[in-house]
Amino acid sequence: MTRHRVWRLPGDVDTDALAPGTWMQHGVDVIAQHCLEALRPDFAGGVQPGDVVVAGPNFGIGSSREQAAAVLRHLGVAAVIAPSYAGLFFRNAFNLGLLLLTCEQCERIAEGERIAFDARAGTVTRPGGETLQAQTIPAFLLDMVDAGGLLPQLQQRFQTRTAP
């Protein structure tokens, strides 16, 4: 089972912390370099593909800017795990191919822990073997995330259908 290194964040992380307003006129690659700089200045430079973000409640509150989810995916974040999300952030994230796990007990998880998760089973496993329950996500949404998001999934479908 793949292990993922944890970046621990507090509750109420807003979209301006994820995609700072100062950089919004730039592309996702530039905004990503400033992701969470006010909260965790070590994040954008230190995060590795496959790492996960574990946060407190109301992750992604604030504006509806899609870049807030896009930068986490651009940086290779494998999943965000939090007890709750802002509705618009949740919607954007899955459309953009960023997996969000809703897990009430995730606040037990510590910075730097290496955890495993199974999105289809709805489980998060801590280093000592403790298993936390996450909300089950419908298969069609997980398929969309696996495809890289809504648009890549639609492109794949139409290509398959029109292939000779």
Contacting a second copy within 128-147 (CB under 8 A): 135-138, 141
Nearest of 23, 38, 156 to residue 97 by alpha carbon: 156
Element (H, E) at 163: none
Q: Any contact of residue 94 with a second copy (CB under 8 A)? A: yes
Rounded to the nearest whole angstrom, what is the least distance from the CB of residue 50 to a second copy in the complex? Answer: 23
The only residue of 14, 23, 91, 146 in contact with a second copy, by rule CB under 8 A: 91
Nearer to a second copy, 44 or 137 (CB): 137
Stretch that binds a second copy, among 16-24, 27-35, 84-92, 126-134 (CB under 8 A): 84-92
- Residue located via tokens 């936390």: 132
- C-alpha to C-alpha distance for 93 and 159, rounded to whole angstroms: 24
Contacting a second copy within 13-52 (CB under 8 A): none
DSSP line for 58-110: SBTBS---THHHHHHHHTT--EEEES-B-HHHHHHHHHTT--EEE-GGGGG--
For a second copy, how many residues bind (rule: CB under 8 A)? 18
**Which residues of the chain form contacts with a second copy (CB under 8 A)?**
58, 63-64, 84-88, 90-91, 94, 100, 102, 135-138, 141
